[in-house]
């Protein structure tokens, strides 16, 4: 592993660990604080891809995946008390959904970015992040909370996620987990646009320092 990749690996691992911690704290009714940190993983991946190439980006993604697995394993051993019952901080469905969504979405981001890298500077990071973020949201929330996939962990009661409520409190009636996923997706799209400027600045600095 080249030394130049280490900052990217550290940044990715830090984002994943921080997001796993912050996802346990609510921000308003529909989001957690982790929703604001996790999308930064796409920024790290895209910077590495632009400056060092797709292979370096994939190494960083793998490091983030390993960090996520470690967090999930630790989370399954942390028990909370509620309603007279003990339950793990991270359930099997959340662990599987998180790992699969991260690896799939980030790998897709790398592939799309690499395919579009010769176009205008903003197209590759914007489109790859939007597509990757959308896939990430669909996979995670479906696997973690959809009642149709309850066979993954039959003993895990996620009936609360299936409560039928207006979308984000005002729209059509949908399961609660759909509102949570939709709010998460909107944050990801907003950050995909907001991180274009940091992407441009970081890439410019790294290119100057490596030439």
CB 106 within 8 A of CB 56: no
Which CATH number does the domain 3-210 belong to among 3.10.170, 3.40.960, 1.10.1760, 1.10.10?
1.10.1760
At 45 the pLDDT is 97
Alpha-carbon gap, residue 112 to 138, rounded angstroms: 18
Residue 79's contacts (CB-CB under 8 Å, 6 or more residues apart) are 86, 87, 88, 89
At 88 the pLDDT is 74
Q: What value does the mean pLDDT take over residues 20-42?
A: 89
- Is a pLDDT exceeding 90 seen at residue 25? no
At 208 the pLDDT is 83
pLDDT tens digits, 86-95: 677 778 888 8
CB 188 within 8 A of CB 102: no
Domain ranges of the chain: 3-210
pLDDT tens digits, 35-79: 999 999 999 999 999 999 999 999 999 999 999 889 888 887 877
Residue 92's contacts (CB-CB under 8 Å, 6 or more residues apart) are 76, 152, 153, 156
CA-closest candidate to residue 140, choices 39, 29, 11, 12? 39
pLDDT tens digits, 94-116: 889 999 999 999 999 999 999 99
At 82 the pLDDT is 61
Mean pLDDT, the chain, rounded, equals: 90
Calculate the alpha carbon distances from 51 to 109, 166, 203, 210 in Å: 15, 44, 6, 9
Q: How many helices (H) and strands (E) does the chain have?
A: 8, 6
């Amino acid at each position: 592993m080249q030394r130049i990749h280490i900052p990217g690996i550290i940044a990715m691992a830090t984002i994943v660990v921080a997001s796993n911690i912050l996802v346990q704290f609510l921000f308003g009714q529909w989001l957690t604080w982790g929703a604001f940190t996790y999308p930064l993983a796409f920024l790290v991946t895209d910077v590495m891809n632009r400056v060092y190439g797709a292979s370096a980006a994939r190494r960083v993604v793998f490091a983030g995946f390993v960090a996520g697995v470690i967090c999930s394993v630790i989370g399954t051993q942390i028990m909370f008390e509620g309603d007279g019952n003990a339950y793990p901080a991270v359930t099997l469905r959340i662990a599987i959904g998180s790992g699969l969504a991260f690896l799939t979405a980030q790998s897709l981001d790398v592939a799309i970015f690499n395919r579009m890298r010769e176009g205008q500077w903003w197209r590759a990071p914007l489109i790859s992040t939007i597509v990757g973020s959308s896939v990430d949201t669909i996979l995670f929330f479906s696997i973690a909370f959809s009642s149709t996939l309850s066979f993954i962990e039959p003993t895990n009661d996620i009936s609360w996620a299936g409560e039928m409520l207006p979308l984000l409190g005002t729209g059509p009636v949908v399961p609660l987990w759909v509102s949570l996923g939709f709010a998460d997706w909107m944050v990801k799209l907003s950050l995909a646009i907001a991180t274009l400027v940091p992407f441009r600045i970081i890439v410019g600095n790294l290119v100057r320092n490596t030439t």
